[in-house]
Each structure stands twice: as structure tokens, then as C-alpha cells.
Amino acid sequence: MDYKGKGLRKCFNCLNGYVQRHLTHSFHLRPAIRYLKTKKQLNLVGAEIGTLRALNAVSIMQNLDIKHLYLIDPYILYDDGINEYQNRSKDLEIAQRRMKPFKNKVTFVVKKSEEALDDVPDSLDFVYIDGNHSYEFVKKDIENYYPKIKPGGIIGGHDFRADCEGLCRAVLEFGDKNNLELNGFPMDWWYEKTK
């Protein structure tokens, strides 16, 4: 299936309208994390790609039974066409301060996600992607981290919406290629690994 251009935008028009009418941009508990919470699993080991100021990481720690969480973010300047991040050293300081209550259960990996693969163990329960939203980066993140997830675990992320065309295309292409069922909405997406 072709996920480029007008077809993808048309596909997400109704979703985007729903989000605009009913939701704000940020959630205290994002849908993918809410789904993990319903599974009631203990001692989860996971990773978040794109930590920024750790608002979602705090929510993960407060809502899930986390044994360890790897926070992957290079904290460098970039513009992915959706977000422009400029004061990254301040973002890291804020994130570290917010995560202080969980310091024994958290590891900051200040690297690009493709460089952090060896810093993160295999058999993860989840990987949450909210880094660079450009097609090539999302595609690489999914392809690189999906093998690290154990059966029954999930890979997912944020900003599955009409104005993130590259991100949506990467997510949909991966699901089609691997015959996976897309879960989520609004704003979040995830795939559950069956084998």
C-alpha cells in the first residue's frame, strides 16, 4: 500500500478532526502507557526514545510497575519539520531533576537511538518512540528496537496524526511488512509482538 502524500493525509483527516475537537496535545497518561497498565505486568523493563524534559517518563514511572527504564535522547539541536528543539542542555537538566525520585530505576543514555542499541538490553517489555518524527528516523527506530522486544511486549509511540506524515508512513509500512495489527489512537500507536 502507498502511504505517501494525499492518500495518507486523507486517511487521517477524521482522526485529526477528532483529536482537535476532543483532546489536548499532551496527556498525563498516554494511550500506549494506559494499555500497558491494563496488562498489570510487574517488573517491566522498557525504553523511551526521545525523553525531552521527561514528562512522559515520569508518567511511566508513576503508572507502571517499572524495574528499569532506559531514557534515550542525544540532547542535540534538531528540527524534524514538526518540532524544533533548541536548548537541549537545559532539557537534560530538567529531565534529570524530574527523574531524581526514580534514580535507582532509570538510566539516561545520552546518545542517538541508533548509537544506544548496545546500552539497552534485549527482552524489553516495551519501547516508546517519541524522538525525531522524520520518516527515516522513525523507520530506523522501529526496525532497530523491535528485535529487542520480547514476545508479548509492545513497540509504540506518540504523535500518530495527520501532520506527522513521515512518522505515520513509517509506522504503517512496518506493520504491513511484518503483518502486525496496528493498535492505538488518539495520538499514540503501538504493535504487540506475538513471536
Is pLDDT at 186 greater than 80 in this prediction? Answer: no
Contact at 8 Å (CB) between 187 and 160?
yes
CB half-sphere exposure, 80, CA atoms < 13 A: 20
| 66-72 vs 106-109, strand pairing mode | parallel
Contact at 8 Å (CB) between 126 and 35?
no
pLDDT digits (tens, 9 = 90+) for 12-62: 444 444 443 333 334 478 999 999 999 999 999 999 999 999 999 999 999
CA-derived radius of gyration, the chain: 16
Residue 148 lies in a domain: yes
Q: What is the residue whose three cell numbers read 531514557?
A: 71
C-alpha cell at 156: 509504540
What pLDDT sits at residue 2?
54
Show the domain range for 14: 6-192
Q: How confident is residue 193, by pLDDT bands cut at 50, 70 and 90?
A: very high
| CA 64 from centroid of its chain's CA atoms | 16
Domain count, the chain: 1
Quick one: CA torsion of 156, 159, 161, 165, rounded to 10 degrees? -90
What pLDDT sits at residue 163?
85
pTM, two decimals, is: 0.84
Residue 1 lies in a domain: no
Percent of the chain with pLDDT over 70: 81
Residue 12 lies in a domain: yes
Residue 54 lies in a domain: yes
Distance CA(59)–CA(190), nearest Å, equals 17
Residue 33 lies in a domain: yes
pLDDT digits (tens, 9 = 90+) for 96-146: 999 999 999 999 999 999 999 999 999 999 999 999 889 999 999 999 999
What pLDDT sits at residue 50?
95
pLDDT digits (tens, 9 = 90+) for 71-93: 999 998 766 655 555 567 789 99
Q: How confident is residue 175, by pLDDT bands cut at 50, 70 and 90?
A: very high
> Can you give the CATH number for the domain in which 165 is found?
3.40.50.150
Contact at 8 Å (CB) between 159 and 184?
no
